[in-house]
């Protein structure tokens, strides 16, 4: 199973980064993720790289990354459909060049149709908070960041007098 995941991960990485990933030494470890405790939610997979090397990219061109990468895969991830597993591997492959979910990560994720979070399956939530409310609630979903921003702005303009607040969640 590890060899199959490694092959699929490398295939997805190559689609994003091209031949610059050919020299990477990728190990697959199946087990509980270290990040699991930190996030307090199901983390399907994560990448481990030496702390001394921070990945860098410009668009989908790798500038710097570790040659040794460990892909940690949660055992429950192996039970996902092929499509969802592929999306998890695409997402992790994107982290080869972008460690955080920053603007460039999200832009490239959108370009390649990669979900930003496991729960979203690629959709971006538009959340609303009532004037005196403490919690935000999801009121709409969008496929792209541009669409989400427009929907959020339209909702804000419509409900401005009510004092509602809006945010976008990836």
Q: What is the mean pLDDT of residues 145-153?
A: 86
pLDDT tens by residue, 108-126: 988 888 887 766 555 678 8
**What average pLDDT score do residues 155-166 get?**
89
Give the confidence band of 1 by pLDDT, cuts at 50, 70, 90. Answer: confident
What pLDDT sits at residue 119?
A: 63
d(CA 12, CA 91): 9
> Model-level pTM?
0.71
CB-CB contact of 65 with 96 (8 Å): yes
pLDDT number for residue 38: 54
Rounded (5°) CA angle 92-166-100:
20
- Do residues 169 and 124 touch, judged by C-beta distance below 8 A? yes
Confidence of residue 157 (pLDDT cuts 50, 70, 90): very high
- Which sign does the torsion angle of CA 89, 8, 47, 15 carry? negative
The pLDDT of residue 121: 57
- Report pLDDT digits (tens) over 50-98: 887 888 899 889 988 889 999 999 888 888 889 889 989 999 999 999 9
Highest mean pLDDT: which of 14-18, 44-48, 74-78?
14-18
Mark 24-59 as b/e (b = at least 16 C-beta within 10 Å).
bebebeeeebeeeeeeeeebbbbbbbeeeeebebee
Cα separations in angstroms, 30 against 57, 78, 79, 86, 88: 27, 9, 12, 16, 14
For residues 153 and 66, what is the distance between their CA atoms, to the nearest angstrom?
40
The answer, yes or no, to whether residue 26 has pLDDT greater than 90, is yes
Give the integer Cα–Cα distance in Å for 140 and 169. Answer: 11
Is residue 46 within 8 A of residue 34, CB to CB? The reply is: yes
Q: Report the greatest alpha carbon distance in the chain.
A: 57
Percent of the chain surpassing pLDDT 70: 89
Q: Is the pLDDT of residue 41 over 80?
A: no
Class of domain 2-112: alpha beta
């Amino acid at each position: 199973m590890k060899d199959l995941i490694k092959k699929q991960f490398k295939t997805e990485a190559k689609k994003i980064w091209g031949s610059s990933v050919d020299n990477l030494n990728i190990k697959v470890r199946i087990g509980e993720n270290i990040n699991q405790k930190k996030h307090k939610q199901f983390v399907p997979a994560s990448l481990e790289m030496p702390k001394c090397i921070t990945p860098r990219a410009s668009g989908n061109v790798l500038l710097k990354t570790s040659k040794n990468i460990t892909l940690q895969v949660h055992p429950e991830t192996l039970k996902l459909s092929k499509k969802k597993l592929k999306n998890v591997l695409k997402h992790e492959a994107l982290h080869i060049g972008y460690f955080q979910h920053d603007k460039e990560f999200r832009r490239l994720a959108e370009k390649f149709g990669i979900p930003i979070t496991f729960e979203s399956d690629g959709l971006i939530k538009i959340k609303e908070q009532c004037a005196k409310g403490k919690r935000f609630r999801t009121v709409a979903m969008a496929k792209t960041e541009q669409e989400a921003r427009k929907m959020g702005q339209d909702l804000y303009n419509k409900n401005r007098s009510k004092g509602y607040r809006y945010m976008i969640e990836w």
